[in-house]
Structure 1
Amino acid sequence: MRSQDWLILKHLYATKNITKAAQRLYISQPAFSSRLKQLEKEFGIKIVTRERRGVNFTPQGEYLAKSAEEMLLKIQEIKENIANMDREVVGTIKFGVSNFFTKYKLPRLLKLFKDRYPNVDFQVTTGWSRDMFHALYNKDVHIAFVRGDYPWLGRKQLLFEEQLCIASAKELDIADLPNLPRIDYKTDSLLKSLIEEWWTKTYLKPPFITMEVDQVDTCKEMVANGLGYAIMPSMILNGMEDIYKISLTDKEGEALLRKTWMLYHDESLELNVIKVFVAFIEDLDTQDMNGKIYEER
């Protein structure tokens, strides 16, 4: 079987619809159906039964489809290992990247790396840090960029730290926070827990939350327009000089920090392209300990 055949099975199993699966692979529906029939002939089984709204997989077809992801990974691994044999920096790096890092940091890093190693390709999956951590744990990606301290036993490198702060359009007294309107935003569970723990150790009253928005950028704009205060990592506020900021500390006066990490498996370094990328990031960090390479562009 060709790798395209495994992709056909993978996407058909995901969509349960020939038209949608064909669209995902940018091939015509007749060509898709023809190849599916060839696969049924090759294995001597019925892979799917057609229904009015899609398809149902037979037990044999379901087994074959569930093997597709494993086979595609194996094919990619074989290709990478072959490319790795001559020590050329070539291949595909699969990243799992937090939403914030994707928006503000990753494009610049990938451009710098691509300029130096033009034969490397990137496959990027984005989302919440916890999901990217799980993707790395399951070996769906080679490298994860996550925000927060996850229980990772493999290789890790600290990229930068941000102090949590209170952001407001005007000056305020931190003692008055429980009585002032607060704007919250959707974020990962680790950051929520860090903020909630600080709050419960600092105040006897719950926060007066008047808005809950879906994104931190929306929250930032609400704050800038004087609709309330918010608690967020300081890097979110880069370039907003008119915003009043109070850095958060614990009872001992230690800064409340949110760390951003690069995580990867030890065995990933067996791939030359991963080894070179890790060295590339380490070199950037060595050259600029203040993290200027990660500033917003």
Structure 2
Amino acid sequence: MEDRDWLILNALYKHKNITKTAQSLFMSQPALTSRLQQIEKEFGVTMVQRGRRGVDFTPQGEYMVKTAEEMLKKYQKIKDDLLNMENRVTGTLRLGVGFFFTKNKLPTVLKMFKEQYPDVEYKVIAGQSKAIHQLIFNQDVHIGFIRGDYAWNEEKHFLFQDTLCIVSKNEIQLDELPYRPRIDYKTDYVLKASIDNWWAENYSVPPLVGMEVDQIDACREMIVNGLGYAIMPSMYFHENLLTKVEIKNKEGKPIIRYTWMFYHEESMQLNVVKAFVNFVKQLDFQKIL
């Protein structure tokens, strides 16, 4: 086995497709296929089987993929430890970040941190908070920025909060909502549950969903053009032309959505992680737009 073989197995398991795997690794398909055959020959097993829908892994292949994940983590830890021995803030900082934070907060944060620590590089994985929670739980990233209430028994730091609002182009009364077209968007299950629970507490009929979109940014554009209303966190909107009505729970309190920084205590042994965590703790995120 060569070092690159672990990357090949990891990428093939992710894509389940020879062509996409070869493209992601900047290899030709014949070279990738040849290397897979060499690995199978070396161990005397069949790892993958090709089907009409892509690649399927045999039990032996599944075992090799699991080993590949462990080997890649060990390799990354060796690199991190060696860089840490120099007592400098350097190396690659691996971040898992929600879509909103990636677009609206992270660029400014990384720019300011880079000015203080120019030798640091970044690997950023953007996704919904549920996926980021899994990444930080598995220690695939050093730090996770997560919106919503997710269980976490390790270190975390509160960053900022916003409230859920009815957002529309024109003024709208709450008792009119069941009869007005609503625009829904894909989001994590924590936010969706908060919205659904509030609706169930206040209305006996389902919402009149007139449109469904993939991204919340697309939802915002539809609202700006007067095509309906949506229920979403207040920080997604800064336009003065839009109307926002804060919704409240049964106790009459705003429904708050929190944003956190999650990390593992042991990762603070790395200079780059410790420096970044301490840097983030000093920031006022309400002022970062």
Report the TM range for the smaller structure's normalisation: 0.7 to 0.9
Aligned residues: 288
Please give the secondary structure, in 2, of the residue aligned with 1:291.
helix
Pair 1:210–1:11, CA change in 2 (3 A)? closer
Give 2:252's aligned residue.
253
> Displacement of 1:258 after TM fit?
0.9
1:90/1:119 contact within 8 Å kept? yes
Please give the secondary structure, in 1, of the residue aligned with 2:27.
coil
Please give the secondary structure, in 1, of the residue aligned with 2:282.
helix
Give 2:168's aligned residue.
168
TM-score, scaled to structure 2: 0.88
2:161/2:256 contact within 8 Å kept? yes
Give 2:218's aligned residue.
218
Is 1:244–2:243 an aligned residue pair?
yes
Q: Following the alignment from structure 1 to structure 2, what is the Cα–Cα distance between the partners of residues 183 and 124? A: 30
Is 1:11–2:11 an aligned residue pair?
yes
1:96/1:136 contact within 8 Å kept? yes
Q: Following the alignment from structure 1 to structure 2, what is the Cα–Cα distance between the partners of residues 56 and 177? A: 48
Q: CA offsets, 1:101-125, max 9 Å, x none?
A: 1122222212222222122221122
1:89/1:272 contact within 8 Å kept? yes
Residue identity in the other structure for 1:219:
C
Q: CA offsets, 1:194-235, max 9 Å, x none?
A: 112222222333322222222212221222222222111111
Q: Following the alignment from structure 1 to structure 2, what is the Cα–Cα distance between the partners of residues 141 and 200? A: 37
Please give the secondary structure, in 2, of the residue aligned with 1:191.
helix
Give 1:292's aligned residue.
287
Give 1:69's aligned residue.
69
Q: CA offsets, 1:8-67, max 9 Å, x none?
A: 2323444565554332211345554565566567x4535657869777767655533431
The percent identity for this pair of structures is 52
Give 1:227's aligned residue.
227
Q: Following the alignment from structure 2 to structure 1, what is the Cα–Cα distance between the partners of residues 273 and 73? A: 16
Q: Following the alignment from structure 2 to structure 1, what is the Cα–Cα distance between the partners of residues 166 and 58? A: 56
2:99/2:126 contact within 8 Å kept? yes
Over aligned residue pairs, what C-alpha RMSD do you find?
A: 2.6
Q: Following the alignment from structure 2 to structure 1, what is the Cα–Cα distance between the partners of residues 254 and 49? A: 60
1:45/1:60 contact within 8 Å kept? no
Give 1:270's aligned residue.
269
Please give the secondary structure, in 1, of the residue aligned with 2:6.
helix
Q: Following the alignment from structure 1 to structure 2, what is the Cα–Cα distance between the partners of residues 147 and 94? A: 18
Pair 1:196–1:87, CA change in 2 (3 A)? same
Give 1:184's aligned residue.
184
1:164/1:233 contact within 8 Å kept? yes
1:19/1:29 contact within 8 Å kept? yes
- Residues 118-127 or 57-66, more deviating: 57-66
Q: Following the alignment from structure 1 to structure 2, what is the Cα–Cα distance between the partners of residues 243 and 19? A: 46
